[in-house]
Structure formats: structure tokens, C-alpha cells
A = this chain, B = another copy of it.
């Protein structure tokens, strides 16, 4: 907020605004863009003409129903050939790389299953680089202009979106993926927390439901959270932040995977539910991974009869509910999306969650708090990464300051 606004920033911002309008609404006409951005028709005309000449936008050739009188509107769309981005998703024993064209369509994918738990830093970096290379060097894709790579990873990343600071998928921490990938491919790279990418994807999918304030909670072996406040992705000051799973539910309580006691995750993570259902103590060593079938069987048992399984899910709901209640005390109640395998057992835990929330500051709005379920997190993470990467391209590469514009224009035209 210290730096003044220069004259060339004006065009830069308005270009970005036009691109954003097109990305948001499919095939808006120039007139629609003008009214959406509140800029004059002349300005929109000038900017879109530039963008079309530079190969960023294109006129949509839909021989549509010209039912109205008057000159028909010409829809503008993103030119798919303007470039591509790479969305890479790394989680426990699973790696996917997806190439997405500028219009947002996935055009190629590479999926592999590396044994991440037994890999060191260098090995993990190498496996990611290899997956990216397999796609980038494919003969039919070699001509594409790669503009950006976004990496979504399970774990804590730094606030500059460059390093993985801690992760459950390998014993090693502090892995500088961005440096490694940038050196290998020579384009900007971001490294971000998977739950944050889920939040981005949700907003992208259903902007009417997830807009200004909402919470995405990932229930799997660990508990993750992506938080959007006032329309912006919330991150910590140093890290990706939003470590909902490591808020304290019960001081000096159950043993968490992070080594501390009483975290929400130590009650609501898959390993915690599993541990409790098996009758192991609260301080028993957390399992590194529990397969989906086992968790689904536990859920089925909990639905079927009273007993330790049901009790375990109840404890999980209680921890999540009190945690959400504390969170609501800080940020006010907001819509919640429950993502991941836990969503398929949500019918069992929802009553305990609501019961706990009712005992907290968010309690009076309990009825108004809605939970949406998204059992499959992988596509969401991929979508979020793609979207983040494309937004960067929109704002930083295709709407640059004046100096860069000359260069970029020459290159594209």
C-alpha cells in the first residue's frame, strides 16, 4: 500500500480485468464485459482487440441463434493455444501430473504410484521431475508453450509457495520443490498445500455457494483445512497455515501424529478413529496410513451397531465440532465443505459435530451451517492447482507492466 499507482498500471489492471471476466463467464460479448467491469465500450474494444492480436483471446465462432434484432454479440473466449500449465499433485504413494491448456481443459495426464514413505528428498524431487518431463517431452505436446507449474502437496508449505516444510508422505522435511523445478524447466513454479487448492477448486466450481467466506475440511488420515475469507485464500504469515487438525481439542489428550497431545487430528484422523475402534489406548502410536476399505468397514460397523466403532466416530465428530466452534468464534460461522474419505462416513459423525457446535459461540447458527460432501479430493486438488496456475498467467504474464508488454507482445504475435 506504500507504492503509488503509475500510469501503465492502469492498462495492466484493466487487461487483467477483461481476461478475468472472460475466464469467469464463458463467452461474454464485449458489451457484457463492459458492463461487468464498468469500463467504457471503447476501452473494452481497445483492450480486447489487443488481446486477440496477441493470441490470448479469440472470437467464439458459434453460429448461434440470432433471435434478437440488431448486430449480434460476438462472444469472446480464451484462446486454448495461448499456452499450457502443469498441475502436479503429490500425496502419499501417489503422483499425478496434468497438462491444462489456457482455456482450462485438461489435455494430458501422467499418473504414477511412487512409494513416497521410503523416499528421501532427492529421490522425491527426482520422481516429480520425471513425471513432469514425461508429459512435457511427449512428441504431441512438445510444441506447447508451458507457462507455469503448480504443485499441490499434502503437508505444510511456506507462505512464499516455494518449499514443503513438513509432510506426512515422507520422513524428510524442508524440500525446495520450486527451486528444483524452476531450474529444470525455467518457468515459475508454486508449491502449495493441498487443502488450499481444494478451496480454490470449490470456489471455481460453485462460486454462488463458495464465494467470500467458506471452509474446506479434508478428513483423511490427517485433518486438513482450506479457508477462504473475504474472497481470499487464507494462509499463515510464514506457512500455508490453517492447520485446523493441530488446534488443541483436549489439553494433554490423545497422541497426535505430530508428536503432540490433544490435537483435533488425534481424535478425528483416520488413524485416531482406527485406534479407538480397535480398543488401543489414546497414546498408541498412530498408523502411517489406513486403507480406504478398512475405514469404510469401520463406518459400516458404526452404522450397524453400538460399540467401539460408533464411539470412535462420535469422538471424532466431537473434536471436529468443538474445533469448528472455536474457529467460528474467530471468523464467524461459514459454509463448510467436508472433503475426502471422511465425507462418506459423514452421516455417522454429523450429529456429534452439530452437538458440539451447539455448545460453542457458533451454536446459535447451528441450523444455518450447511455441510456439503465431496468424498473424492484428488480431482479437486488438481483443479485448484490448474486454476491457481492459470490465474497467475492471466495476471502476471498476459497483463504485464509496460516494459514487459513490449516483449510479450513480440513473442506471441
The docked-state distance in angstroms from the alpha carbon of A367 to that of B21 is: 48
Min CB distance A119 to B, Å, is 25
Contacts of A159 in B (CB 8 A): 332
The docked-state distance in angstroms from the alpha carbon of A21 to that of B4 is: 11
Q: Does A59 contact B (CB under 8 A)?
A: no
Given contacts A5-B13, A230-B237, A244-B330, contact A251 B39 (CB under 8 A): no
Pick from A17, A261, A322, A361 the residue with the most CB of B within 10 Å: A361
| A window 300-334: CB within 8 A of B | 318, 322, 325-327, 329-334
Contacts of A17 in B (CB 8 A): 2-5
Q: Does A243 contact B (CB under 8 A)?
A: yes
Q: Assess the A2–B36 pair: CB atoms within 8 A.
A: yes
Interface string of A25-61 (1 = CB under 8 A from B): 0000000000011110001000000000000000000
Q: Assess the A14–B10 pair: CB atoms within 8 A.
A: no
Q: Closest B residue to A325 by CB, please name it.
A: B248
Q: Does A229 contact B (CB under 8 A)?
A: yes
Q: Assess the A359–B239 pair: CB atoms within 8 A.
A: no
The docked-state distance in angstroms from the alpha carbon of A334 to that of B241 is: 12
The docked-state distance in angstroms from the alpha carbon of A236 to that of B215 is: 13
Q: Assess the B361–A4 pair: CB atoms within 8 A.
A: no
Q: Assess the A251–B356 pair: CB atoms within 8 A.
A: yes
- Interface size for A (C-beta < 8 A) is 61
Q: Assess the B230–A213 pair: CB atoms within 8 A.
A: no
Copies assembled: 2
Q: Closest B residue to A230 by CB, please name it.
A: B237
Q: Assess the A332–B237 pair: CB atoms within 8 A.
A: yes
Given contacts A237-B230, A248-B325, A260-B363, contact A39 B6 (CB under 8 A): yes
Q: Closest B residue to A247 by CB, please name it.
A: B326
Q: Does A407 contact B (CB under 8 A)?
A: no
Q: Does A249 contact B (CB under 8 A)?
A: yes
Q: Closest B residue to A159 by CB, please name it.
A: B332
Min CB distance A363 to B, Å, is 7
Q: Does A231 contact B (CB under 8 A)?
A: yes
Q: Does A293 contact B (CB under 8 A)?
A: no
Min CB distance A206 to B, Å, is 18
Q: Assess the A318–B251 pair: CB atoms within 8 A.
A: yes
The docked-state distance in angstroms from the alpha carbon of A304 to that of B4 is: 57
Min CB distance A64 to B, Å, is 25
Q: Closest B residue to A243 by CB, please name it.
A: B329
Q: Assess the A330–B37 pair: CB atoms within 8 A.
A: no
The docked-state distance in angstroms from the alpha carbon of A41 to that of B38 is: 32
Q: Assess the B330–A247 pair: CB atoms within 8 A.
A: yes
Q: Assess the A241–B332 pair: CB atoms within 8 A.
A: yes
Q: Does A114 contact B (CB under 8 A)?
A: no
| A window 235-256: CB within 8 A of B | 236-239, 241-244, 246-252
Q: Does A258 contact B (CB under 8 A)?
A: yes
Q: Assess the A238–B332 pair: CB atoms within 8 A.
A: yes
Min CB distance A283 to B, Å, is 14
12 pairs across A/B with beta carbons < 8 Å? A2-B21, A3-B37, A5-B10, A5-B17, A10-B10, A230-B237, A236-B332, A237-B334, A243-B330, A247-B361, A248-B325, A263-B361
Given contacts A4-B13, A5-B10, A248-B322, 18 further A-B contacts (CB under 8 A): A2-B17, A3-B17, A4-B17, A5-B9, A5-B14, A6-B38, A10-B10, A229-B237, A236-B330, A241-B331, A241-B332, A244-B330, A246-B360, A247-B326, A247-B329, A248-B326, A248-B359, A251-B356
